[in-house]
């Protein structure tokens, strides 16, 4: 159900580099950037793994519980 | 007023207009909201400067000055184009970024708010887009042949949502939901998010729970519309004809691990028409031209009371 698109690993690494650059742009990081990149790459990979795993345990999308919506998905 | 404008904005959330739609961020930790907004501002500005079709000073537009020549581009634009080419490969060309010239020829050549929504007739040219295979990207060296213009609009928005969510979660340590119009990305591991799926006040709607870390995108043939010579046009083109796809589906919503993947699948589904539901193995919701709803891939059944 949650197959990854091709090139996922390469994209993950590219995203880690991007995260570094964007954090710097946002003024979030200065020194210690390497540690942030390493952490970000770990997060990216674990998120991807969790996404793949979750379909066998909990659904990625399920019926609403009557709670107020926090966001709207609409065509744009 | 759209439904989105009616969603609550409290201490944990903020929203503002951008790219003819609405950006929204919701954080679990309200203390992180100011930093989250700063990050979103930075990312959205950077993405716009990298790949806007409408800004003559965008990096993408400047590349048109050197057609056919290998050019070193920024890591951000390389990542955006990489995502677009991956989407094209993944969908067998049903989603193709080389429709830029066709999109402009149909009248969508500036920000939607600036388009004449009912203009004079345009010559209709039916033909294939140049094709994503013609784009060469090696690392950060890009070659776009002469006569090819890229449209990174859809993938750019989804990519920006993914990047914002990852950045905010990484740097602020809070669970977060980022919405750019129909494109929603989340990051973190906390409780599910509650998402209203609807393309407008008079459209079929449902509220679903989206697991933390997952994403959702809705593509539509009934938004971003305009007329030329009385003919109704919209922004989802079939790369095989360079014409707006037949509105077999009013909207398609898809849940996936990333917003780029969800957007790729929802856009491809509009292009594929009637065959789309059988080709999707992710949770998805289709609203047909007659307003009927079909769900596949584990999308929860519609609550008829909603």
Q: What is the pLDDT of residues B30-83, one digit of tens each?
A: 999 999 999 999 899 999 999 999 999 999 999 989 999 999 999 889 999 999
> What residues contact B4, with CB distance under 8 A and at least 6 apart?
A72, A74, B15, B22, B24, B179, B181
- Determine the pLDDT at residue A21: 66
Planar angle of CA B11, B12, B14, nearest 5 degrees? 85
Residue A5's pLDDT is what?
Answer: 54
Closest CA to B280 of B154, B91, B96: B91
**Residue A30 DSSP code:** B
Q: Tell me, yes or no, whether B173 lies in a domain.
A: yes
β-strands B71-72, B136-138 pairing: unpaired
Inter-chain Cβ pairs, chain A and chain B, closer than 8 A: 227
Q: Least CA distance to B196: which residue of chain A?
A: A72
Global pTM value: 0.87
CATH number at residue B289: 3.10.520.10
In a domain, B163, yes or no: yes
Collect all residues of chain A within an 8 Å Cβ-Cβ radius of residue B284. none
Q: How far apart are CA B32 and CA A32, in angstroms?
A: 21
In this structure, what DSSP letter does residue B258 have? S
A contact test, residue of B108, B139, B258 with most A CBs within 10 A: B258
Q: Do B211 and A63 touch (CB under 8 A)?
A: no
Q: Is B111 within 8 Å of chain A by CB?
A: no
What is the rounded distance in angstroms from the CA atom of residue B232 to the CA atom of residue B153?
20
Chain B residues near residue A21 by CB distance under 8 angstroms: 75-76
**Beta bridge partners of residue B233, listed in sequence order:** B226
Q: Which residue range forms the structural domain that includes residue B9?
A: 4-296
pLDDT at A22: 67
Distance in angstroms (rounded) separating the CA atoms of residues A30 and A48: 27
Instruction: Confirm whether B302 is domain-assigned.
Output: no
Residues of A in contact with B179 (CB under 8 A): 71-73
Domains identified in chain B, total number: 1
Over residues A21-73, the pLDDT tens digits come to: 666 665 654 444 444 444 444 544 444 444 444 434 567 888 887 788 899 98
B251 phi and psi, to 5 degrees? -145, 155
Walk along chain B (306 residues) and give the pLDDT tens digit of each residue. 555 566 878 899 999 999 888 999 999 999 999 999 999 998 999 999 999 999 999 999 999 899 999 999 998 899 999 999 999 999 999 999 999 988 888 878 888 788 888 888 888 888 999 999 999 999 889 999 999 999 998 899 999 999 999 989 988 999 999 999 879 999 999 899 999 998 888 888 899 999 999 999 999 998 888 788 888 878 899 999 999 999 999 999 999 999 999 999 999 999 999 999 999 989 999 999 999 999 999 998 765 444
**Any chain A CB within 8 A of the CB of B297?**
yes
Quick check: B158 contacting A, CB < 8 Å? no
Q: How far is CA B250 from the centre of its chain?
A: 15
DSSP B171-221: HH-S-EEEEETTEEEEESSSSPEEEEE-SSTTS--EEEEE-TT-EEEEEES
Q: If 0-12 CB within 10 Å is exposed, 13-18 middle and 19+ buried, where does residue A74 land?
A: buried
pLDDT value, residue A34:
43
Interface predicted TM-score (ipTM) of this complex, two decimals: 0.83
DSSP-derived secondary structure letter, B124? -
DSSP line for B80-108: HHHHHHHHHHHTTTSS-GGGHHHHHHTT-
Asked if residue B305 is part of any domain, the answer here is no
Indicate the length of chain B as a whole number: 306
């Amino acid at each position: 159900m949650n197959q990854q698109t091709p090139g996922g690993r390469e994209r993950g690494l590219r995203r880690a580099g991007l995260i570094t650059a964007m954090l710097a742009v946002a003024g979030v990081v200065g020194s210690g950037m390497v540690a942030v990149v390493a952490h970000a790459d770990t997060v990216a990979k674990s998120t991807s793994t969790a996404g793949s795993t979750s379909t066998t345990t909990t659904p990625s999308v399920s019926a609403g519980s009557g709670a107020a919506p926090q966001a709207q998905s609409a065509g744009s | 007023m759209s439904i989105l404008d009616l969603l609550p904005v409290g201490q944990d959330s903020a929203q503002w207009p951008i790219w003819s739609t609405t950006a929204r961020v919701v954080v679990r930790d309200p203390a992180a909201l100011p930093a989250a907004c700063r990050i979103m501002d930075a990312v959205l500005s950077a993405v716009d400067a990298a790949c806007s079709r409408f800004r003559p000073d965008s990096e993408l537009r400047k590349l048109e000055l050197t057609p056919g020549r290998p050019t070193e581009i920024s890591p951000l634009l390389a990542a955006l184009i990489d995502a677009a080419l991956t989407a094209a490969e993944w969908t067998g060309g049903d989603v193709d970024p080389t429709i830029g010239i066709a999109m402009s020829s149909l009248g969508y050549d500036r920000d939607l708010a600036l388009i004449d929504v009912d203009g004079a007739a345009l010559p209709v040219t039916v033909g294939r887009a140049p094709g994503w295979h013609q784009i060469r990207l090696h690392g950060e060296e890009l070659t776009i042949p002469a006569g090819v213009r890229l449209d990174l609009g859809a993938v750019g928005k989804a990519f920006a949502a993914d990047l914002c969510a990852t950045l905010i979660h990484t740097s602020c340590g809070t669970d977060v939901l980022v919405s750019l119009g129909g494109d929603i990305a989340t990051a973190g591991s906390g409780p599910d998010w509650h998402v209203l799926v609807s393309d407008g006040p008079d459209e079929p709607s449902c509220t679903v729970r989206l697991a933390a870390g997952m994403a959702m995108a809705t593509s539509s043939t009934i938004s971003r519309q305009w007329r030329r010579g009385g003919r109704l046009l919209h922004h989802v083109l079939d790369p095989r004809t360079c014409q707006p796809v037949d509105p077999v589906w009013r909207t398609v919503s898809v849940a996936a691990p990333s917003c780029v993947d969800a957007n790729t699948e929802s856009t491809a589904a509009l292009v594929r028409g009637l065959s789309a539901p059988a080709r999707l193995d992710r949770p998805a919701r289709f609203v047909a031209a007659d307003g009927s709803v079909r769900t596949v891939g584990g999308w929860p059944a519609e609550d008829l009371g909603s």
